[in-house]
Amino acid sequence: MSQAAKADLERKRRYDRLVGAHRADLFRYAYWLNGDAALAEDVVQDAMVRAWRSLDNLREDAAAKPWLLTIVRRENARFFERKRHETVDIDELVGAPTLQISSEDSTDQDDLHKAIGELEPDYREPLVLQVVLGHSTKEIADIMGLTNGAVLTRLHRARKKLIENFDLGEPEAD
Amino acid sequence: MNFEAFKKAVLAEPSSEAPEIMAKAASDPECAAFLARVQAMELKLSAAMSVPVPPSLTGEMPDIEALAEAREVGRMSTADFKEAVLAEPHRETPEILEKVASDPECAAFLARVKAMELRLSAAMSVPVPPSLTGDMPDIEALAEAREVGREGNVVAFPGKPTESRGSSMYRWPAFASLAAAVALVAVFVLRPPAEIIDPDGEALAAEVFDHIEHELGFMSPASVAVDDGMFSAALQPAGVNMTRNDAPGLVSYAKNCVIDGESVPHLVVQGKNGPVTVLILPHKDLKAPVSYSRDGLEGVLLPVGESGSIAIIGRDAASVDAVREMADSNLRFST
């Protein structure tokens, strides 16, 4: 095998290892950015291709996840800019076959799903980064280009709105 | 100094005895009368503004420690507590812990928010489509199919969000997943403990503890199990095939994580003595079981199969042992 072929193989292995581990998270992030499972799948696949083409720009493997999330974020924005796609009406999403999550208590789950979807995108994005992807406040701030304080404010307001708009069995948040 | 300038200066500082003021008052009766009226007004103003001082702020100085206890200055208020908890439900700062320990209302609020988090996490963990799970696609074929970044390329776009993307969506060949299923048939079983020290095991345990300390909030009592879709989505990226029935208890949380570059299923299992975190580490070999404790957490790492291991971490040894017993007797999983 030539040196070039070896380097190419190694590059592909690195790509598979770094991207493969994060695809589920990337999809869920994209889904909660645009509210559309099919569009999120498209966005992630395009993001995967962009990641492949710019893999050499990623110097540290440990930084792969935030790097990929940033690519997905940009790709999602690019989709909307390119297509001038209208904002998805979250009402259309509830009951869509691909979005049925739990076999138990599905109505309740759908209602919560809808309540999350009705959050303003500015509130929903840090919530998915924290709740689903497990990022710290600082990491969310870096990904979204915000201060820590702004992230905390958005997270607090997001949950407060969910409590107000959806019966989560919570006391009123002051 | 003219009269207007004099009035301005006097109204700004009625008690000023600046030479210009005094000279003007001495030489100009109108200015002298104005100054007298303003100074009389000052006396009335001073009297009116001198509100009575409450007894607690007069007399002897109070015991400052008793005052500090009573006033709670610098302590987190209930409103601040709720705001902090709603922003970061799993963050356990000293202030949060102190408030929880001293205020039952806040403790109850935190418990309810954590319960809400489980529901929120379940609702947000949408199923991942088949094209984004399992084996990685051939990236060059995907790039060819997606045509990303090519100028002028317009991928067909549906009018409705849930319609098929048609030719724009890359689906890797069905035989790829079939081949993966055929290849991944080796059944791993727990190996008996060996009497040797494994320094790498200590390092791995430390790494596992580092990982879970950011997700401790999910290790809470819960009665709602994750559904099969979420469960398999947590396991699939690691190439682990296992059903919820194989788990040593109700699985209330399931997520795919990455440790040291490897995909790792992260589960929270409701054991008979309390919730524990179980990490399945298919690529982390251990020579022997490793016990580890840190920051109020107890854990054990057990060798599994030929080249894997599992980590069980709980808030006390009893909760870990309960799940470990079940794992020892029941756990079988294949990759």
Where is B257: in which H helix or E strand?
strand B250-259
Cβ distance of A170 and B113 shorter than 8 Å: yes
Determine the angle formed by the axes of helices B78-87 and B104-124, rounding to 10 degrees.
Answer: 20
Q: Where are the beta strands (DSSP E) in A16-109?
A: none
Which of chain A's residues have a Cβ under 8 Å away from the Cβ of B113? 159, 170
Handedness of CA B135, B139, B140, B144 (dihedral sign): positive
Q: Do A41 and B121 touch (CB under 8 A)?
A: no
How far does the CA of residue A30 sit from the closest CA of chain B (Å)?
11
pLDDT at A90: 46
Match 């300390």 to its residue by tokens. Answer: B213
Which ranges of chain B would DSSP assign to H, the alpha helix? 3-12, 19-27, 29-49, 64-71, 78-87, 94-102, 104-124, 139-146, 174-183, 199-212, 228-235, 317-330
**How many C-beta atoms lie closer than 10 Å to residue A36's C-beta?**
26
pLDDT at B79 exceeding the cut of 60: yes
A and B: number of Cβ contacts within 8 A? 192
Is the predicted ipTM greater than 0.90, yes or no?
no
Angstrom distance (rounded) from CA B315 to CA B87: 24
- The verdict on B95 touching A (C-beta cutoff 8 Å) is no
Q: What is the DSSP letter of A105?
A: S
Which pLDDT band, with edges at 50, 70 and 90, does B65 fall under?
confident
Instruction: Answer whether B230's CB lies under 8 Å from A101's CB.
Output: yes
Assign B154 to helix, strand or coil: coil
List the single residue in B with minimal CA-CA distance to A37. B162
Q: How many CB atoms lie within 10 A of CB B130?
A: 13
- Per residue in B191-208, pLDDT (tens digit) is 434 333 455 777 888 888
What is the average pLDDT score of chain B? 75
B143 touching chain A per CB within 8 A: yes
So what's the pLDDT on residue B251? 83
Which site among B103, B132, B259 would you substitute to test the A interface, given the most A Cβ atoms closer than 10 Å to its Cβ? B132
Q: Are B165 and A41 an interchain contact pair (Cβ–Cβ within 8 Å)? A: yes
Q: Distance between CA atoms of A128 and A139, rounded to whole angstroms? A: 13
pLDDT tens per residue, chain A (174 residues)?
A: 788 888 888 999 999 999 988 999 999 999 999 988 888 998 999 999 999 989 998 988 888 999 999 999 999 988 877 765 445 444 444 333 333 334 444 567 778 888 898 899 999 999 999 998 888 999 999 999 999 999 999 999 999 998 887 765 544 555
The three-state secondary structure class of B267 is: strand
Alpha carbon separation from B228 to A151, B125, B177, B251 (Å, rounded):
32, 12, 19, 10
Using a 10 angstrom Cβ sphere, with 0-12 exposed, 13-18 middle and 19 or more buried, the burial of residue B276 is: buried
Rounded to whole angstroms, the Cα distance separating B256 from B232 reads: 10
